[in-house]
Chain A
């Protein structure tokens, strides 16, 4: 049964989730003369897709991940099918376009296109524009940090962007929330938290990864609470790779010297 909400923390309180929610709300509540494309950008690992998932639950947006091979027809088919329309296997582009528009209007839900960097081809991005023009349903393009600047080359799409919102780095509040959601069955002491945040490069994905590292460490040492002292000299992962190792001089193969007689 539906219990009323509720004290335990959940992902909805993450700052990037509220950023995306307010972008969606801006696009949905815009005036009738305004365009309704939105751009949500940020480097990998900042929880953009996660925010999109939360948004799908909270505001019933439709979250679609675009693959690198998608073309006009594939995109329209994907949208129509996701909205529950029956798409005939053989259909021409014009009919498919009309069918997709009808499905979008019927469903009346904001569409979030994740990994929108794959849409940046003239024909494909224009399909998005036409779908939006025809239906006026907000479409949020979600992608890499430079998505907005890459959109500049498509002036007609670029000019229809109502708002651009960037995903931001994790804060201490976000960290506490992620710990509350992810760290079940053990505790991370406050003195370790700050280091966890900086050690993870303020990136949500690495924070979750490092919380798991702490969990494994707690498990192996039989700790229910991990402090800075327990963690010791271990490091956190923030995506740094080890330097390529160079063999010491004495182990290198001696260079053959070719003698000329």
Chain B
């Protein structure tokens, strides 16, 4: 999930692109003539970015309805686009991890079983399996976040209720590094804990 010092991975890439799209819009709109069509090269100049990157940005602009084709390119003639008065897209505010999706769903549900939690949390970007929901519930139960409303019995699973609503950010289940001393029976957490 969180890597080294510099963010990487598809999400970081998407975030960077989004920031660049915003920058592109701002710069295109503050040109002498904002309505003037622009080519990939114009945008690459404006952004001080490679042409491929400028093309990514244009594709994004068109996909979100903020730019449209002004002149179609053919052969050696490059295509030109112009900004539209299209809707400004919302900030991308999707939970990015399974834990965040489950936390959001469980805060909204009065009581839930791992299956119903998975059903409702499994609508976002990340797949949430029943097994993952079961694991998360078990961890939060042990940590005192959940209360058992109905104990598991033959044929049906346990039903939980969220009793400790600590806020918007999802508690995460982490593997921690610890030193365990069998002589004294002590466990000292040394790393990996958030």
Interface residues of A (CB under 8 A from B): 2-6, 8, 10-12, 17, 25, 28-29, 49-50, 52-54, 56-60, 62-63, 65, 81-84, 107, 109, 181-182
Give the residues in chain A near B123, CB-CB below 8 Å.
10-12, 17, 54, 57-58
Give the residues in chain B near A49, CB-CB below 8 Å.
108
Beta-carbon contact of B108 and A52 below 8 Å: yes
Give the residues in chain A near B107, CB-CB below 8 Å.
56, 62-63, 82
- Identify the stretch in B17-25, B92-100, B138-146 within 8 Å (CB) of chain A at 4 or more residues: B92-100
- Identify the stretch in B76-84, B163-171, B181-189 within 8 Å (CB) of chain A at 4 or more residues: B163-171
| Alpha-carbon separation in the docked complex, A258 to B148 (Å) | 61
Beta-carbon contact of A3 and B127 below 8 Å: yes
B133 CB to nearest chain A CB (Å):
12
A50 CB to nearest chain B CB (Å):
7
Chain B residues touching A, majority SS: loop
Contact of A84 among B104, B126, B167 (CB under 8 A): B167
Cβ of B121 under 8 Å from chain A: yes
Return the chain B residue nearest A13 by Cβ: B123
Contact of A82 among B10, B94, B109, B165 (CB under 8 A): B165
Beta-carbon contact of A59 and B93 below 8 Å: yes
Return the chain A residue nearest B168 by Cβ: A84
A17 CB to nearest chain B CB (Å):
8
Q: How many A-B residue pairs have CB under 8 A?
A: 83
Give the residues in chain A near B95, CB-CB below 8 Å.
57, 60
Chain A residues touching B, majority SS: helix
Return the chain B residue nearest A182 by Cβ: B119
Beta-carbon contact of B124 and A58 below 8 Å: yes
Question: Number of B interface residues, CB 8 Å?
Answer: 33
Give the residues in chain B near A182, CB-CB below 8 Å.
119
| Alpha-carbon separation in the docked complex, A10 to B10 (Å) | 23
Beta-carbon contact of A63 and B94 below 8 Å: no
Cβ of B105 under 8 Å from chain A: yes
With A29-B87, A29-B90 known as contacts, the answer to whether A3 contacts B126 (CB < 8 A) is yes
Cβ of B45 under 8 Å from chain A: no
Cβ of B66 under 8 Å from chain A: no
Cβ of B122 under 8 Å from chain A: yes
30 A-B pairs with CB atoms under 8 Å apart are A2-B126, A4-B125, A5-B124, A5-B126, A10-B123, A11-B119, A12-B123, A12-B124, A25-B90, A28-B90, A29-B88, A54-B123, A56-B107, A57-B95, A57-B105, A57-B121, A58-B94, A58-B124, A59-B94, A62-B107, A62-B168, A63-B107, A82-B107, A83-B167, A84-B167, A84-B168, A107-B168, A109-B93, A181-B119, A182-B119
